[in-house]
Amino acid sequence: DSGVTQTPKHLITATGQRVTLRCSPRSGDLSVYWYQQSLDQGLQFLIQYYNGEERAKGNILERFSAQQFPDLHSELNLSSLELGDSALYFCASSSSGESSYEQYFGPGTRLTVT
């Protein structure tokens, strides 16, 4: 158990819909990262937040957005969902802002868009 929690574990929804994925980092970690992992692609970095502020942006679509709240939990919002958005979405946390030594991954949310 990494100490990072993600909800829900599974999510099935239809194209065009909007969903919110939630992540609570390890106690004391200020950085939260979001990754997407689909069958035909490796782990793709989406976005990073550090202590409530956006720190780095990767291959995140405009239909996706994220935020980190004062209690440090984070939410990833996916809208106008397409079949290709079906993937495992991982959240990871680390102690410092600059992708420090180790990232601890949550169990992931499996999103299926039908």
> Which residue's CB is nearer to other proteins, number 25 or number 108?
108
Structure tokens at 102: 């180790």
C-alpha 10/C-alpha 101 separation (Å) is 29
C-alpha 4/C-alpha 81 separation (Å) is 25
Contact flag: residue 108 with other proteins (CB under 8 A): yes
User: What is the tally of helices (H) and strands (E) in the chain?
Assistant: 0, 11
> Smallest distance from the beta carbon of 50 to other proteins, in angstroms?
11
Contact flag: residue 102 with other proteins (CB under 8 A): yes
Contact flag: residue 70 with other proteins (CB under 8 A): no
Residues that bind other proteins (CB under 8 A): 2, 33, 41-45, 48, 56, 58, 88, 90, 98-99, 101-108
